[in-house]
Structure 1
């Protein structure tokens, strides 16, 4: 239940400016001719606009750091040089209030120092929404984020800083968007020298977004041929 004395979104300029940077990303960015990406962009921005217009009460969450947040300053420095500098600056304005998480019941020890995410809007976010999740994922250099998928959740990543690859298919630079449909298996790797900061959006049912059941789905190596 929301505290009746809690400030509303409109009373928190830094948070509303951050959300407006997201809205601009999903309104003005290119879909690259993809109908699926165009549809996803529309769903994200229309839901986000509805949340902003509703002026929800803000929810207090305790700020939490993870080991990888030692790389956040560098990621924000890199963002300042590229096309999403405005989003990077807006994130920097609220960084002291962010709750960084791992999201997995069983966290691989090798990943504990190299990965974390923070939800800024959603069922668990300081800005509440049942139908949309927005946040950021931070990776250290030389990170392999293992194979995983999201059941009944459509996910997009937009690069804010650093270079990364999904399923070894391409190198994505700042400003790039990639769409992962429900249950699409994907694996992320990051560059050798710099951290990687991604903005993400999840669209799905309220039940699924509230309890995404995040699991890593390592693939077993096939038996050698005999």
Structure 2
């Protein structure tokens, strides 16, 4: 069933939490991150003003969902608790995906993403993609990059690292520019839940392209990683 966003209160408030995070969160003094945050909130503001359709997806499950409740519970103790509560209200309607025809064996039980807003919905909008990524403890997401897409991760729950350059906790934001190769690892005791935002042109968002660092390892694109 299709409804307008203004009618679907839980989805509307979830979108409001993204707006708040990208409007009031810190860019850490980085003009590049600040510009990306402005782009996200401007595109999201246009979406909210247009009152787009919300298409109820068929819920899809993946093994990593066994860690979702723990990730949400942990997030309630952190600075992102308001967004965590909003996500909890829509969790039963999420369609978790891999994004690959063939998943690397070591990550098949430790990763999945769920799109919230974008060309494919559930909140249907062509100029921005927002979603969630869930990782189990001790996960390693292989080195990859996105072509034509600027990506940010907003840490909601758990501790993780990108390219072994730092440890990120709830409230942290990490920016990946188009073509930037990155690997994600998670700590050994707790799951990690990230929100993500993608900006780019409409074709790139509708047909995202991802490249693994190994030339022979190409796959269908995965959103949110």
TM-score, structure 2 length as denominator? 0.93
Gaps of 5+ in 2: 217-225
- 2:45 and 2:186 mapped to 1: Cα distance? 32
- 2:26 and 2:54 mapped to 1: Cα distance? 31
CA-CA distance at 1:219 after TM superposition:
7.5
| Secondary structure of residue in 2 paired with 1:46 | helix
Moved over 6 A (4+): none
- 2:174 and 2:195 mapped to 1: Cα distance? 11
CA-CA distance at 1:214 after TM superposition:
3.3
The residue that corresponds to 1:32 in the other structure is: 28
Contact preservation (8 Å) 1:159, 1:198: yes
Pairs within 5 Å for 1:56-95: 56-95=52-91
CA-CA distance at 1:58 after TM superposition:
1.4
**Match for 2:178 among 179, 182, 185?**
182
TM-score, structure 1 length as denominator? 0.93
The residue that corresponds to 1:126 in the other structure is: 122
- Provide the alpha-carbon RMSD of the alignment: 1.2
Instruction: Give the structure with higher Rg (CA).
Output: 1
> How many aligned positions are there?
216
1:206 paired with 2:202, answer yes
Bigger drift between 58-67 and 207-216 goes to 207-216
CA-CA distance at 1:106 after TM superposition:
2.2
Contact preservation (8 Å) 1:26, 1:44: yes
Going from structure 1 to structure 2, the CA distance change for 1:219 and 1:160 (only over 3 Å counts) comes to farther
Higher strand share: 2
Q: Deviations over 1:85-114 (max 9, x none)?
A: 010110000111000000122210111100
Contact preservation (8 Å) 1:157, 1:177: yes
- 1:207 and 1:105 mapped to 2: Cα distance? 21
| Secondary structure of residue in 1 paired with 2:84 | helix
The residue that corresponds to 1:224 in the other structure is: none
- 1:6 and 1:160 mapped to 2: Cα distance? 29
